[in-house]
Structures are given as C-alpha cells and as structure tokens.
Amino acid sequence: MSRNTLNTLKEFNISGSKKGAFYSLPALGKKLGINVSRLPVSIRIVLESVLRNCDGKKVTEEHVQQLAQWAPNAARTDEIPFVVARVVLQDFTGVPLLADLAAMRGVASRMGKDPKNIEPLVPVDLVVDHSVQIDHFREKKALDLNMRLEFQRNNERYQFMKWGMQAFDTFGVVPPGFGIVHQVNLEYLARGVHKKTEGKTDVYYPDTLVGTDSHTTMINGIGVVGWGVGGIEAEAGMLGQPVYFLTPDVVGVNLTGQLRQGVTATDLVLTITELLRKEKVVGKFVEFFGEGTESLSLTDRATIANMAPEYGATMGFFPVDDATIDYFKGTGRTKAEIDAFEAYFKAQGLYGTPKSGEIDYTNVVALDLGSVAPSLAGPKRPQDRIEIGNVKQQFADLFVKPVTENGFNKKAEDLGATYVNSDGVAVKNGDVLIAAITSCTNTSNPSVLLTAGLLAKKAVEAGLKVAPHIKTSLAPGSRIVTTYLEEAGLLPYLEKLGFGVTAYGCTTCIGNAGDLTPAMNEAIVQNDIVASAVLSGNRNFEARIHPNIRSNFLASPPLVVAYAIAGTIQRDLMTEPVGKGKGGKDIYLGDIWPTTQEVAKLMKFAMNARNFKDNYAQVKTAPGKLWEGIKGVAEGQVYNWPSSTYIAEPPFFNDFGMVPSAAATGIQGARALGVFGDSITTDHISPAGAIKESSPAGKWLTENGVLKADFNSYGSRRGNHEIMMRGTFANVRIKNLMIPMKADGSRVEGGITLHQPTGEEMSIYDAAMRYQREGTPTMVFAGEEYGTGSSRDWAAKGTQLLGVKAVIARSYERIHRSNLVGMGVLPLQFLGNDSVTTLGIKGDETFDLKGLDGELRPQQELTLVIHRADGSSQEVNVLLRIDTPIEIDYYKHGGILPFVLRQLLAA
C-alpha cells in the first residue's frame, strides 16, 4: 500500500502568525469513518506515531487501520510497531547497553563494514544516578565525601561513558550529581512536542520514549507515552527497530473527590497500587480520568505514574491539561515550546482530562480520593498496604506467622526482647535501623518534601530527636529539591534530625543504602533480629534495601521522619506518642503534622522557573570538577577493550555470522537448574546490591586482585559479564525449592541448587557451568509473577549465559518476558491449574520439550515431557509466551541483538 492514501498532514496555528503541520488524528478518523475521540488518549498518541511513521515496510497502512479500530474488549492478536521519539537510560542499564553497541561496532569493523553503521537514530540520554552509595551520613561533608567515593569506585565506567559520548553522535550523558533519571526527565529532558522538517514544512509530533528502567512511566504524568523496557529492546529501538507490542487493553481509573487533610500523594499511590494489583492490570495501559484526576497536582500525577510497574501496568497515563502547562512554565521550559505543546494537543483533540463516559475503556475502576488514608506498604512488597494505625499489630501478626508464610516464625514474647550489640547499642525486633527520604517517586513531589520539612521543623521545636544509631539520609532526585528546601528555611531542621543531603541519586531505593556498623550486623545475624527500614521509595523486595534487614516499609517522606523519631515499627503512631519532647512531654503525630495550608504557603519556593533553568544549564556548561577531571578516555569509533573488572566485551556476538544458526528442534534430557515459588523478582534473579565475598562473583573478583573494600555492587559492575553471570540467581534471600527444608520448616536461602543426578549441593552458577561441560540443557521453573520488578536485562542475559534454554512459570511480568525472548530464552507458561506443585516437580526429573520443530507461531502450545526419578513419565501442554510474529524472528536469530545487527550490516 502507498503511504499517501492515509496522509492526513494538516496545518495548525501555534501562536500569532506562527504555524506548524501535524498528522491529524481527527482527519484520519474522518477518512476511516471512525470516531477517534472515543479512543483512549494513550492509544491515540501511539496511533499518531504509527500514522506518521507509516512507510509501507516496518509500519504499514494495515497497522494504522488495526490500531485506529481499537475496540475495548477485542481479542489482542495484532502487534503494534511503535517508533519512539527518544530513549532514556540510567547508568546501571545504560553501561551494558553501551557495551553491546561497542561490541556491535567491533563486529562491523572485523567484517570490513563501516562501524558508523551502528549509530542511534534517535536521541539517547543517559543519566548517571544508580551508583552513588550512602557511606557517609549525618555529617556536614557527607554529600562531598559520597561523591568522591562514587568517582573513585566508578572511574572505569565513567571513562567508558565518555568514550561513548565522543563515538556516537546522538548519545549524551547527564553526569553524576544532578539527580535521578526519571526526575531529570520530568523536569528537563521531556519537551512535550518535537519537530522535524519535511521539505519546507515544520512537522510537530508528541514526545514519546522508552527507557531502560521500569519507572520510566513517571513521564506518563505529563502526558508522555513511554514505559520501561530492557536494554536489549531499547537498543533495537534506538537503532531503528520499532518497539513491537501486542495491542493492549486500556483500563480507565475514574478518580472522584479530593484527598483529605493530612493525606499525601504517597498514601494515594500505595492505595492505587493495592487496588490495581487486585484488578490484574499486568501488560495493560492504565489511564486516569475524572474530576478527581483534575484536582491532582502534576507532581501528584507523576508519583502515581512512577509506580505503574508496582501495580503491574505498562503505563499509568495522565492526559495533558492546564496543570501540565503550568508545570512546564514552573520548570523553565521556553515560551515557544510551551505554546507549541499546548497548541498541538488542542489541535489533535487531546487536550483536557476526560470526564466519565467520554472514552471507551476495556473496563473502569473507581476510587474516591476521600477514602484514602495514611499508609505504609510492607514488609517486602509494594502492594501490601497497611493503614498507619494497623502497622504495629500487622508487624506482630507477621512476626509469629508460620515460617512457610513469611520467613520470620518467631515467638510472641520475642517481640519485646532487647539485645545489646558490641557497641553498646540496644536493638529490638522491629527497630528502625535505616530511614531514608529517597527515590524519584517522592522527591519529585514538592508537597511531600515540604511536608517532611515542616514536620521536621515542628519536631525539632518540640524537642524530638532521632537516635544516633539510625542510618538517616536525604537523597533527592534533583538538586532543585535542596534549593527550595533551603529557600523555605526547612533544610536546617531536617539536618538536625539527621536528614542532611547525602547524595543525588537512587541510593537506598536501589539497594545502595550502604552498610550498617559491624556491631549492628553481628547483633542482627547472631540473634536473628527482624530489624526494619522505612524509606520513601517504590520497592522493598527481599534483600534489596540491606541483606540483613528483613522488614522494609515504603512510606511518605514525612512518615519516614516520624518513624525515625519513633525508632520502631512497633509503635502505633495514631494512638501512641512519636516520642518525648522537652521536659519529657509526650509528643503525638498530630502535634507535629503540617496542615495543607502550611504546605501550600511554601509551594512558591518549589516551582521557580529560574532555578530550574540555572540548574540544568550546568549539565553542559559546568558538569562538575570530578566529571571534568576524568582522564584516560579512549578515542575513536571502535572501543579497544582495555583490561577491566568493570567493562568487558560481552560474549553475545561470539561466532557471529550473517546467517543465523539452525533453529531449535526441541530440548531433550534437560535438568532443572532451579525451582522457585511465586513473586520471584528481577532482584532475586539478578541482584543489584552488595557482592558477598563467598559468592561466585566475590571469588572471581578476589582471584582477579580486587579487595573486598573495592567490590562495589552488582549494579555498578553490569558492564562485565563475568560478574553478572556469576551473580545470576545469587540473591541472599532467594529460595530454591529443590533444596530440602530445614528442621524448623523454614527454607534454605541463597543461590544454591542440587546438581543432578549426583544430588551434590553447590551454587547455581557452579551447577550451570557443570551442566554446560556435560552438554546438559537446563530449565528454570517458577510460580506466579515471575520477573516482577526492575527492567534489568541482566536477569535475562545472565539466564542465557548460564545455559538455560527455557523458563516455565505460572505467569510473567511484562518486561522480563520480553527480555527472555530478546536473549533467545524460551518463556513458557503452565496452562490451567498446572504448576510446580500440582505436577509434583521436585527438581530430580529430566525434561523434554516437543513442538519446536516446524513453523513456530506466537502463543502456540508445546508439550513438556516430565521423566521422573521413579521411571514414570507425564506429558503436559505449556503455552509458548513468544507473543508476536516479530518475536518469533528474534528467537530464530538467537535474540533481538543478532537480528538487528544482521539488518544493519546487510543494509
């Protein structure tokens, strides 16, 4: 078909005499006889991209017509080729992506091709935010000391990034110390609309993106369509491959009413996370509408959008309206781009928050904002919300539940037991040992930060203090936060309670809380203490915050301060005092909680356009002496791979040829590398935190001359596959059901397995290497929600390098399923009531997979043959979770990267 038959290029007025052109969705609707105004707003923005990029090859008129005829409850069989305007990266995922691109250039050079053929076709921004750790805190120079340590530890990574900046024309870096990628994206990188010249015409189109972090969805708060993908999918997108996905269901969330006095956006997002997890929105678009949505500030919307991965959705989308325009003005965008942004969305009929009944959604969920109550979530999942008045009792109940349910299994009388560590500090179960105001989820929102500052002011004035052994920190997602807290006069009060600025980055939320004292670690381990952390983050998965802290709670910034003062989760802050103030007086939370009016008076300090302009101008003009002082940066178009324990040439293109190897014809005699339960997160599969000295990765570092003090973290070493494959399934809290239970009924924790048929216990890495030497294929088995959490592609890359041919689970989270396909690993799903439990899979069986020979089809059924140790066999059908035709091609090529590289080199 010719593209011209659906050409709807129209003119629109921007301001005064200035005009522009756009691909008109209303005109497309008229041409096709469809009322596009009934389509969800997010679907319309994706439709614009498909229409504008219709070239008759990768994107066809058939794609346009299929999406334009989106129906709320149709079967989802069509794939959408979505061409994004840009890509954003954070450093933990960006460095291995850059390593892959460098390896591709090496392949091109060795094959006599121009390395410049490997070049991002859309702008790529990498924000360095994940590597800084909280080593220093509660001291005046903590920020400076932590920054110096960051550069000392990560110098080789930063050299590599600087090579990328000079090698690739469209690759830019926001250096360490500016903030967290999603907050920087919201405040600075996002432009609302872009323009390109076609002939003599300026054509405008909406900002869209994918990012290599699951919380990329934060940008949905300003009406930008975008979500998190793995680095392997992002690479394909930046190299000209559309991002393919199945046409989604769209769930509308009708917000009514208004938040009550004292209720924060954090309380609201924890409520929404709980609500939408129950609605099972995994893989769906979620779109907010209604009068309650209009009442929310832009930063409240961004907080809700940020946690879309926690409620499982692909997006948590908010349409563009007056609040969006006000935010762009307050954050220093230029008048010209704001005028174009507003005029474009009005011309497309996309401006304004829809009312009830105006849009056709797959289904609608309602929430009265007035019903939301102050809450926390924990102790190890974001969706497990607890109203603040129930926290104390809930902790007590969890504490004494059977170990098979939560891993605690303590006696009720142990709740109050006191232990004194070797430093003389008394510690009890439930004591708060880490209290962190952290994460873009909340530090992007001035209302909760100002509330925390005002609460700190009132607390200090009342004579309240925070115990010195509690590790407190304030790590904003943007330097703007420090500016407005200083201008509002609140930062000194936060500092007096220990919440001085320690870093600008993800820190505690990503697992970079830094360590506790040796005496505290020893006391926790020897006495099996269930200690607590309270953080204003978005994730609290097992062993993420700290390997020895097993009870982790998400809370708003003011509640983080309040619980730091209380010092324990075992205090009901609704009825019991937060602490004792001057003269031994009991001080209650209500005594120090700020009013909505008090917070509103200070909002003028937070939305100062000049501050935003001055701050972000320094990204290019004054990135900092530490960044400017990095020496030894490689030059040229092809990287020379100097010896490094941080950066190594990835093995994914070893033995690369222009013709893919023969497709798999089946799997025979496979062994189970691991058998896991429900909610195995990407943190379980590929941890980001500390590297244990006794782990395979720790041993490798030691053998290569790295001292324990210089191990850094798994996340910072993602540029080296030797570390990452040894770290796969190495989480200290992961439980392999192949390992027999302990005498008390609890599960053994850590990345170990049983090699079969010997039955020898060893690390999963060592077993995988032995199976590879023996020529034995392996599989991984799991329950519901396999791969929930971060988008980290190393969870799939590591799985592939361990030799795993297939993962079989009850259900998958969206990004990890896609990443497995992208690495050539088969994601398979149990059908009906089949599961590890119902099928009696113990891990001593062998497995065959039949049905791979012949022509593969998306979501076809294959046959798993289970050969048991007693000689019996059983056949069950499993669903192939390769969901789209393009994914079949990726799999046949051994993954998405070889597929794209072959296309580029052929061209």
What's the rounded mean pLDDT across residues 378-400? 92
In order of 157, 426, 432, the CA distances from 520 in angstroms are 32, 10, 12
Q: What is the pLDDT of residues 63-112, one digit of tens each?
A: 999 999 999 999 998 989 999 999 999 999 999 999 999 999 999 999 99
User: Around 825, how many Cα atoms within 13 Å sit in the side-chain half-sphere?
Assistant: 27
User: Residues 124-162: pLDDT tens digits?
Assistant: 999 999 999 999 999 999 999 999 999 999 999 999 999
- Hey, how many other C-beta atoms are within 10 angstroms of the C-beta on 262? 16
SS3 content of the chain, % helix, strand, coil (to 5): 40, 20, 40
If one compares 414 and 555, the residue with the highest pLDDT of the two is 555
* pLDDT score, position 77: 87
Strand spans (E) along 384-439: 385-387, 418-420, 426-428, 432-437
Which residues, other chains included, contact 853 with Cβ-Cβ below 8 Å and sequence gap of 6+?
665, 666
Q: What is the band of 232 on the pLDDT scale with cuts at 50, 70, 90?
A: confident
pLDDT at 51: 97
How high is the pLDDT of residue 790? 79
pLDDT at 907: 81
pLDDT band at 4 (very low <50, low <70, confident <90, very high): low
Burial class (CB in 10 A: 0-12, 13-18, 19+), 726: buried
Whether the per-residue pLDDT at 50 is higher than 80: the answer is yes
Nearest to 320 by CA among 195, 430, 448, 192: 192
- C-alpha 820/C-alpha 893 separation (Å) is 13
Beta strands (DSSP E) in 687-837 are 752-755, 760-763, 778-781, 804-809, 826-830
Q: Measured between alpha carbons, how far apart are the two ends of the chain, in Å?
A: 23
Helices (H), strands (E): how many in the chain? 33, 34
> Dihedral of CA 187/190/193/195: which sign?
positive
Q: Is the pTM of this model over 0.85?
A: yes
661: DSSP letter: P
pLDDT at 663: 60
Q: Is the pLDDT of residue 803 over 70?
A: yes
In angstroms, the CA 720 to CA 742 distance is 35
> Above pLDDT 90, what percent of the chain?
87
Question: Smallest Cα–Cα separation from 262: which of 432, 387, 380?
Answer: 387
Q: Which two tokens stand for residue 156?
A: 């080789």
Q: For 168-259, where are the alpha helices, taking DSSP H only?
A: 181-184, 231-238
Q: pLDDT value at position 422?
A: 94
Provide mean pLDDT across the span 755-770.
97
Our CA angle for 422, 544, 558, nearest 5°, is 85
Instruction: Flag the least confident range among 20-29, 285-294, 538-547, 844-853.
Output: 538-547
Q: Which amino acid is at 672?
A: A
Confidence of residue 664 (pLDDT cuts 50, 70, 90): low
- Between 229-238, 573-582, 650-659, 773-782, the lowest mean confidence (pLDDT) is in 229-238
| Cα R_g (the chain), whole angstroms | 27
Q: So what's the pLDDT on residue 407?
A: 62
Mean confidence (pLDDT) of the chain: 94
The token pair at 616 is 């972000």
Instruction: Answer yes or no: are the C-beta atoms of 261 and 447 closer than 8 Å.
Output: no
98/677 Cα distance (integer angstroms): 34
What's the confidence (pLDDT) of residue 2? 40
What are the structural domains, with CATH classification, of the chain? 3-82 (no CATH), 375-607 (3.30.499.10), 666-686+736-906 (3.20.19.10), 689-727 (no CATH)
User: How sure is the predictor about 404, in pLDDT bands with cuts at 50, 70 and 90?
Assistant: low
Alpha helices in 220-365 (DSSP H): 231-238, 265-278, 291-295, 298-306, 308-311, 322-330, 335-347
AA letter at 607: M
Reported as a pLDDT band with limits 50, 70 and 90, residue 190 is very high
Nearest to 239 by CA among 122, 127, 97: 122
pLDDT tops 70 at residue 728: yes
Bridge-partner residues for 426, per DSSP?
A: 420
Task: Quote the percentage of the chain above a pLDDT of 70.
Answer: 98
- Look at residues 760, 776, 771 and name the one whose alpha carbon lies nearest to residue 670: 776
pLDDT of 666 reads 87
d(CA 895, CA 889) in angstroms, rounded, equals: 8
Residue 406's pLDDT band (cuts 50, 70, 90): low
Query: How far is residue 663's CA from residue 434's CA, in Å, rounded to a whole number?
Result: 50
For range 678-707, the mean pLDDT: 93
Give, as one character, the DSSP assignment of residue 189.
Answer: I
C-alpha 511/C-alpha 208 separation (Å) is 29
174 has pLDDT over 50: yes
pLDDT in tens, 308-352: 999 999 999 999 999 999 999 999 999 999 999 999 999 999 999
- Orientation angle between helical segments 814-822 and 896-906, nearest 10 degrees: 50
Tell me, what's the pLDDT at 1? 34
The answer to whether 30 and 16 are in contact (CB under 8 A) is no
